[in-house]
Structure formats: structure tokens, C-alpha cells
């Protein structure tokens, strides 16, 4: 394989690039084309170097350069949204131009089969390697997005001096509760709030676990010196809570966020008064 790579480098490179452009499901921009040319050129050079010794164990040190290059390429493609196939095709599309040249150069059928066999094993290993890296990178992206989603979906809002609101939307599982508690407690520290209103209008079901998570959150806030009011208790939720025997005695509950806010204001010493409309009508 090394010889073939060396001899026909130029034309091999051209054909390889063209093949990738053709099989890729998308139209490549000029920049992408240029990038592809650079990548392919670089990789062919690396491949030439690595195949010098004729080995096919890609975990060996001669292949470190190739592995690093492919790892980088694969990770970049995973992050950029390429499909796994597109990424693996970087390697696999090299087979066609490579083998057609090997066929032309080969003396007898025996040597031809041999070299093609070796080459295909090698390229398969490299291809699988790129797929592995691709997978791992994708998993990292997903994990990070999950975390971001978790944090974004639990905003803590400052309703007024000393009053925070935590509108919960969606289910409250164990992982989410950790994020909720962290966000809430941090907000309590920063805003020095005395009251947090936890609104559960957007929580579809409240079972024993969800109730436990809520109570944990209330307890944690209390340790930071803030009292909680739970609002948004729908009629069905009220029934479920009683049937489950959940003890909400220490916690103030209100049906609506508005009611809870009113109580919070009162407790923190504020009163809301209506001011006479002095701006008048359009005359």
C-alpha cells in the first residue's frame, strides 16, 4: 500500500476528494472544499509515513500521528453536525481510488489479493477508530446539552425585594432537584431574599417522590434562612397529596402565584396600595 500511495499521490488525492464531494449528501461551500483538500492532503502524507513499516496495528506508536489527526478531524466533524457516515467516509472513500490503482499495478492475482486484503484491514481499523471518536464526542455534546437544558429550565426570578420566585416546569426528578436546589440557594445568597415562592403549576404530576423532592428543596432553603411558599396547587394535586399522606404542615401553600406573592409581600412588610390615576384621559 505504501508504494501505491507514494507513486500516484497526485491523482489519488484528486480522485479521493472528488469521491467524498460526490457522496456527501450536501453541497459543500468553497471553504469546506478547500478544507477538505487540505485535510486529505495532510492525511495522505501521514498515511504514507505510517505505512512505511508495513505494520497494520494502529495502536502502535508509528500510527500516533494518524490517530491524532483522525481524532481531531472526527471530533470536529461530530461537533459541526456531520453524520457518522460522512465522517467515516473520509477513510472508507479512499478504498476505491486506492484499490483501482493497486489493480492496475499488480503483477499477479495472488499479490493483488494480498495487498488489497492488508489495505482493507488497515483502512477498516482506521475507519472504526474515527467512528469511535465520533461517538464519544457526540456523547460529550449531548451530556453538555443536557446539563445546559437542566440549568436553563430552572430559572429563579426576583419578584421583589427579598422575594424570589421559582416557577417549576416539567417533572421534578432527582437530578433536576439537585439543580433546582443549587440555583435557588445561590439566588438566596445573592439577593439575600427571605421568601421563595415555588410555583408548581407547570408540574404535571405530584407523587410521593416529587413531594419528597419539594420538601427537600423547602428544607434546604430554610437552612439558608429563607421560608418557602408553594403555589400553583391544582385541585387534583391537593387530592393526591392528601391521599398520599404527605406532610405539608410546615409549609405555607397557596393556589396561585398571585396569592403567594401577596402573602410574601405582607410578610416582608410591604403593602400594595392603589394610586389614583392622575394622568387623565386623552383630551
Partner 1 sequence: MERIPILKMGEFLLVTIQVDMHDRLALTLQDDLTEQIVKWHAHGVLIDISALEMVDSFIGRMLSNIANMARLLDAQTVVVGMQPSVAITLVELGMPMKGIRTALDVEKGMQTLRIYLDSNGYTQDGNGSAEI
Partner 2 sequence: MEAQKSETHEIRTSQDVVSARQAVRRCAVELGFSLVDQTKIVTASSELARNTLDYGGGGVATVETVRNGSRAGLRITFEDEGPGIADITQALTDGFTTGGGMGLGLGGAKRLSNEFAIESEPGRGTRVTILRWKGL
Contact residue for partner 2 among 136, 176, 222, 267 (CB under 8 A):
136
List the single partner that 188 binds among partner 2, partner 1, none, CB under 5 to 8 Å by kind.
partner 1
DSSP per residue, 24-71: SSSPPPHHHHHHHHHHHHHHHHHHHHHGGG----TTSGGGHHHHHHHH
Contact residue for partner 2 among 120, 178, 183, 252 (CB under 8 A):
178
Question: Which of 145/182 has CB closer to partner 2?
Answer: 182
Question: Which of 43/129 has CB closer to partner 2?
Answer: 129
Q: Residues with Cβ < 8 Å from 164, sequence gap 6 or more?
A: 156, 157, 158, 184, 187, 188, 191, 193, 195, 196, 197, 226
Indicate whether 219 belongs to the interface with partner 1 (CB under 8 A). Answer: yes
Indicate whether 216 belongs to the interface with partner 1 (CB under 8 A). Answer: yes
- In the complex, the smallest distance separating the C-beta of residue 156 from partner 2, rounded to whole angstroms, is 17
Q: How far apart are alpha carbons 250 and 218 in whole angstroms?
A: 10
Indicate whether 182 belongs to the interface with partner 2 (CB under 8 A). Answer: yes
Question: Which of 163/181 has CB closer to partner 2?
Answer: 181
Under 8 Å between Cβ of 224 and 186:
no
Contact residue for partner 1 among 133, 181, 229, 241 (CB under 8 A):
181
Cell of 90: 473520509
Cell of 266: 405582607
Indicate whether 188 belongs to the interface with partner 1 (CB under 8 A). Answer: yes
Q: Largest Cα–Cα distance in the chain?
A: 103
Question: Which of 168/185 has CB closer to partner 2?
Answer: 185
Q: How far apart are alpha carbons 8 and 194 in whole angstroms?
A: 76
Residues engaged in binding partner 1 (CB under 8 A): 178, 181-182, 185-186, 188-189, 192, 194, 216, 219-220, 222-226
Residues engaged in binding partner 2 (CB under 8 A): 136, 178, 182
Amino acid at each position: 500500500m505504501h508504494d501505491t500511495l507514494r507513486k500516484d499521490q497526485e491523482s489519488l488525492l484528486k480522485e479521493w476528494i472528488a469521491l467524498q464531494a460526490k457522496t456527501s449528501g450536501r453541497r459543500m461551500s468553497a471553504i469546506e472544499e478547500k478544507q477538505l483538500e487540505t485535510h486529505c492532503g495532510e492525511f495522505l502524507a501521514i498515511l504514507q509515513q505510517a505505512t512505511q513499516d508495513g505494520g497494520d496495528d494502529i495502536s502502535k506508536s508509528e500510527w500516533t500521528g494518524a490517530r491524532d489527526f483522525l481524532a481531531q478531524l472526527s471530533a470536529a466533524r461530530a461537533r459541526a453536525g456531520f453524520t457518522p457516515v460522512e465522517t467515516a467516509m473520509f477513510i472508507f472513500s479512499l478504498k476505491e481510488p486506492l484499490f483501482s490503482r493497486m489493480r492496475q499495478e499488480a503483477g499477479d492475482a495472488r499479490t493483488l489479493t494480498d495487498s488489497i486484503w492488508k489495505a482493507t484491514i488497515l483502512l477498516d481499523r482506521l475507519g472504526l477508530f474515527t467512528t469511535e471518536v465520533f461517538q464519544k464526542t457526540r456523547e460529550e455534546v449531548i451530556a453538555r446539552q443536557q446539563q445546559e437544558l437542566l440549568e436553563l429550565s430552572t430559572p429563579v426570578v426576583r419578584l421583589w425585594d427579598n422575594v424570589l420566585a421559582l416557577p417549576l416546569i416539567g417533572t421534578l426528578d432527582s437530578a433536576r432537584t439537585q439543580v433546582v436546589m443549587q440555583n435557588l440557594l445561590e439566588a438566596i445568597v445573592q439577593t439575600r431574599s427571605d421568601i421563595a415562592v415555588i410555583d408548581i403549576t407547570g408540574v404535571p404530576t405530584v407523587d410521593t417522590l416529587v413531594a419528597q423532592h419539594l420538601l427537600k428543596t423547602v428544607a434546604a432553603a430554610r437552612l439558608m434562612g429563607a421560608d418557602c411558599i408553594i403555589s400553583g396547587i391544582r385541585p387534583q394535586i391537593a387530592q393526591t397529596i392528601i391521599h398520599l399522606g404527605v406532610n405539608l404542615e410546615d409549609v405555607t401553600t397557596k393556589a396561585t402565584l398571585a396569592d403567594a406573592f401577596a402573602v410574601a409581600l405582607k410578610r416582608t412588610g410591604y403593602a400594595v396600595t392603589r394610586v389614583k390615576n392622575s394622568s387623565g384621559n386623552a383630551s
